[in-house]
Amino acid sequence: MGKKLKGKDLIKLGFPQNNSVNIALGQINRYKKKETKERKLAEVKLVLINPEEYSGDPIWGKVAEALIKPVEVKMHALKSERSPFSIFGEEDIEDEAKYQLYNALKLPITVSGALMPDAHSGYGLPIGGVLATDNAVIPYGVGVDIGCRMALSIFPMNVSYLKGKKDQFKNILAEHSKFGMYETHKVKHDHEIFSRSEFQDIPLLKQLKTKAFRQLGTSGGGNHFVEFGSVKVTDVNNEWGLPLGEYIGLLSHSGSRGLGANIAKQYTYLATKQCPLPKQVQHLAWLDLNTHDGQEYWLAMNLAGDYAKACHDNIHERISKVLGNKPIARIENHHNFAWKQMINGKECIVHRKGATPASKGELGIIPGSMTAPGFIVRGLGNEESLKSASHGAGRKYSRRACKERFTQSAIKSMLKTAGVELIGGGIDEAPMAYKDIEQVMMNQKDLVEVVGTFTPKIVRMDY
């Protein structure tokens, strides 16, 4: 008897003639390919006899679900009217980003939404889009770089060092930060995250664990960076009890690397198979959190967010060690994530795709560009923004437009004027690509209050 199982083998075993057969064959081909046909039949028969026992099982849970309560696959119609929403800084946001939000607001699962003042168009939800849904999570509403994150360490060091010891600080970034798909640290560090059960229990994560270990403490390409700069504390009532004044800061921006990208790819595929939608919103396919795949994505997404934090922790630990100095304050926040949050008395899933959580008293960092200041902020808990704020200045020009519009010499001139040293970086990340951060902050004065600023001085990006 060969190894290959067919649908008729499962029907002969007693499987109902429905989608449970295809789901079982899919799981067997993915996870049991090397086993004998007899062994495969024996295992799947146990699931058929008592599916309840296999509910939640990483391999057979999906088959059990199909036998007990199959996921209903049907074309979902959009609502005729939009759910409630707010737009901040509307006059500075392109129409395409607004239309993407308007489409998302018509999903049958949508409760409410908001658009931040740094918004621009993306896939599915616009960047800067916030969407609250009812018991459903949209993988593309979270984004590909799950848990993309800002982290700022403040050191009790004189800012004059950034000029006087510029070459030393440049060398630290050049040697101790790694970027892109291929750079990794020669000396790998372990982290408690790798002992998490999700890496053992969820087959996809098990396959990605080695890559995640290798990429720990590295940053992605594109707009990700690690930079030294000047932190100015401007709020006398700051949370760290720091005297007003200037300090050296280390700011990093990156996400969950290959781990998050692969999670996004896998569960977006599953969502589109289970949730057919009209063409204009097909990127907004969702997973019901009561389903096996929905629960599994939620676990995987949260692991990816924690992994992104572990990467930043590693970056800051490595550089702190080389500096021979411990930070006196640390501020950090996710974007590209989904949270459980109460909206009008009901627990919802709030997606923030390129938006900063800004609950009352919650701290965050909103960067500008490499020649403009970023802001350390404290959330005001504004309900109209679903307790959110922008995640940066936001793009004014697309990557393609930057390559057509700007030159390296123009960028160098702008960096020189601003007194900024750049290691790496492409034309698509030109400072001119971004909106005016001061205007963005004006447009969200009801969302956050400013605690301090961060002005970049030495910037490291992917080559």
Q: Which of 224, 283, 312, 391 is catalytic?
A: 391
Q: Which residue has the tokens 């808990």?
A: 381
Looking at this protein, which amino acid is placed at residue 91?
E
Instruction: Decide if 189 is catalytic.
Output: no
| CA 123 from centre of chain | 13
**Strand intervals (E) in 121-187:** 127-133, 136-137, 149-155
Read off φ and ψ for residue 340, nearest 5 degrees: -85, 125
Q: What amino acid occupies position 296?
A: E
Backbone dihedral region for residue 354 (phi beyond 0: left; psi -120 to 50: alpha; all else: beta): left
The C-alpha atoms of residue 286 and residue 137 are separated, in whole angstroms, by: 5
Closest by alpha carbon to 143, among 258, 253, 226, 265? Answer: 265
CB count within 10 Å of CB 410 equals: 14
The 3-class secondary structure across 434-452, one letter per residue, is ECCHHHHHHCCCCCEEEEE
Looking from the CA of 200 toward its CB, the CA atoms found within 13 Å total: 5
* Tokens (6 digits) for 45: 């028969």
Nearby residues of 429 by Cβ (< 8 Å), 6 or more positions away: 222, 223, 370, 402, 461
The maximal CA–CA distance of the chain, rounded, in angstroms, is 79
Return the DSSP state at 194: G
C-alpha–C-alpha distance, residues 60 and 66, integer Å: 10
Q: CA-to-CA distance for 194 and 271, rounded, in angstroms? A: 27
SS3 label, residue 93: coil
Ramachandran region, residue 450 (left: φ > 0; alpha: ψ -120 to 50; beta: rest): beta
CB 300 within 8 A of CB 205: yes
Residues marked active site are found at 391
